[in-house]
Amino acid sequence: MAQRALVLDFGGVISKTLFETHDLSEKALGLNRGSLRWRGPFDTATDALWNDMQAGLITERDYWTTRARETGRLVGKDWQTLPPFLSAVRGNDPSQVIRPEALQAIDAAKRAGHRLAILSNELDLFYGKEFRTKLPFLADFDLIVDATYTEILKPDPRAFAFITSGLSIAAADCVFVDDQLKNIRGGEAVGMTCVHFDVTRPASSYDRALTHLSA
């Protein structure tokens, strides 16, 4: 079987979304259970800001910056950027929010001899550099491309080119997984096989990615 590459977004794909971990966030911040009410894709009818982001009226960074400021006000903090917010809610053990399905898929791809890459728009920007040191499985990745440093955001074709050139692999041999449809469209435009990750059905999404990878 020809060597291929599994290319993963980080937030939402490898890590659980903040929507899924409100209980952990509330505990970390000392908030009453149910204090955080925004649910994004898990309850779009009650999250107008999420719908604005999906419609392209605001960026993903705009969405999370707003949520950081709102949450900060609940605990008397002036969080104007993402890192202090995420550091406070994700704590000292980020392994708690890593999807077990992601770890299983990463292991399966590695055992099959495929390459592994992360293509993120904001890995260190959102989580901070120290976040990576607490996740040993990241050492399994052949390449991590983070727009925090490249300043080239998905779905720009140049972002995907960092993957193909960095791995010396054709776009057609990459299976790209992302939870944002605009990024999936970008991956498709450069010739990658793409899986639109459904955060409400992570196991199914990873099964589809591994099926493509072994095709």
Strands 143-146 and 5-8: unpaired
Q: What predicted TM-score, i.e. pTM, was given to this entire model?
A: 0.91
- Full pLDDT tens readout for the chain, 215 residues: 568 999 999 999 999 999 999 999 999 999 999 999 999 999 999 999 999 998 989 988 899 999 999 999 999 999 998 889 988 988 667 888 999 999 999 999 999 999 999 999 989 887 778 888 889 999 999 999 999 999 999 999 999 999 999 999 999 999 999 999 999 999 999 999 999 999 999 999 999 999 999 98
187 burial via Cβ count (<10 Å: 0-12, 13-18, 19+)? buried
DSSP states of the chain: ----EEEE-SBTTTBPPGGGGHHHHHHHHTPPTT-----GGG-GGG-HHHHHHHTTSS-HHHHHHHHHHHHHHHTT----SHHHHHHHHHTT-GGGGB-HHHHHHHHHHHHTT-EEEEEESSHHHHH-THHHHT-GGGGG-SEEEEHHHH---TTSHHHHHHHHHHHT--GGGEEEEES-HHHHHHHHHTT-EEEE--TT-HHHHHHHHHHHHT-
CATH homologous superfamily of 5-16+98-213:
HAD superfamily/HAD-like (3.40.50.1000)
